[in-house]
Every structure is written in C-alpha cells, then in structure tokens.
Copies of this chain bind each other. A is one copy, B any other.
C-alpha cells in the first residue's frame, strides 16, 4: 500500500488540477473577458449555463439523500437554499434569470430550457449522476472547483461591467453573491475531503473526481464555442441568436 500524501501536498495536488484544467483558461471565457463576445454569443452562454444552475440543487439534493450524518446534511442543505432561495424571486436561480433578462432573453424561454445544447444537458446530467452514484467522498470532492471560482467571478464581473451595456449590479447579482457563498462552501468541502481521504487511493479518487468536474465545465464551453464561435455549427434544435451584433 502506498502511504497517503501529507495533507498540504494533497491539497496542493487538488489545487494543481485547477491551474491545469479549470475553465477560466477556455478560449470562450477569454473572449468573454476581453469583451469580444457578441450579444448572441453571450445569450447562448447565459441560456446554456442556466441548465447548469438548474442542475446544482438536484446535484446537492442527490448528495444529501445519501448522507446519514445529520451534521453534514445540515451543512450541505445551505447550498440548496442558496440556489433555490426560500421564496419566489430569491436565490441563485432567480438571480440567473435576471441576468438572462438583462442580456435580452425571454425569461420563460430560458426557464423552459428549450434551445439548450444537448451537450450541455449531457455534461450537467453527468454531474448529477456522478454525485448520486460515486462514493460520498468523491461526490464532495467534485464540488471543489469552487476553490477556483471566486477569482473567475471577480474577473468576470469586472470584464462584463467594462465591456457590456447590459452589465450592472442588478444583472450581475448572481456573481456578486457567489463571491460570498462559494468560499464558505468550499472551506467546508476542502476540510471534509482532506480529513476523509485517508489512503493514497482515496486521495487519488478525489483528484479524479475534481478532474471529472473540470471536464464537465470545460465540455460546456467546448460545445458553446463549437456552436456559436468557431466553426459556428449550431446543432439541430438548439438556440439560434436573432442578431449577429
């Protein structure tokens, strides 16, 4: 049996996954942050990313549904409450719909998820299934992309405000709120993973789970890039932007 890595080295191994594979390095995000995405391309991103937002509470409920430890359930349920809110108009999903309206999309169309790329559905559904089917430790580890999210959200808020007329504190409220929520969640998740991965094999499963999750995020941007940037092949049935401007 191989000895487990010291915790600091294991944490560094997890952080290295982000440096190498997190979707902040994807060409689609680079275009967005340079203000080079056209309105229709931004709309496609907001529309597709809504399917991801919509999947997160299902993913988190799938995790809680497997947990005997009431303490872990009490902690994890905060994620669902953050996304769903406690009444209409509240929560991350409602904030995302305000962003959608801000970029000129019809709220009902976005909420229906018609026009979402099939590849977006497949990637997000894969995440939901992963969390239901893998070990609890791997399910928690797959959430650790939140280690890398605050930097991306900060960059995104500044870039959108600088480059796009629709961007203001109301339309960008989702990202502003996540700057507060994500660090709290990930501090718990990271501590859980560091404490519960007791063998080298378990540590490697956690790294693989985090790589899986970066693949889920990367594949969504690949599909957007292929359909709406280059070569611009929109698959049958998917959203077609009205304006090229």
Q: Which residues of A contact B (CB under 8 A)?
A: 20-21, 27, 117-119, 121-123, 125-126, 129, 211-212, 214-216, 218-219, 222-223, 225-227, 230-231, 233, 235-237
Contact = CB atoms under 8 A, between A and B. Distances in A.
B118 A215 contact: yes
Interface centre among A119, A122, A125, A214 (most CB of B within 10 A): A122
Contact of A218 (B125, B212, B235): B235
Nearest to A124: B122
A129 B124 CA distance: 13
A216 B121 CA distance: 10
Contacts of A227: 222
A204 to B, nearest CB: 15
A237 B212 CA distance: 11
B222 A21 contact: no
A235 B215 CA distance: 8
22 contacts: A21-B236, A117-B219, A118-B216, A119-B119, A119-B219, A119-B223, A122-B122, A122-B125, A122-B219, A125-B126, A125-B129, A211-B237, A215-B235, A215-B236, A218-B235, A219-B235, A222-B226, A222-B235, A223-B226, A225-B231, A226-B226, A230-B231
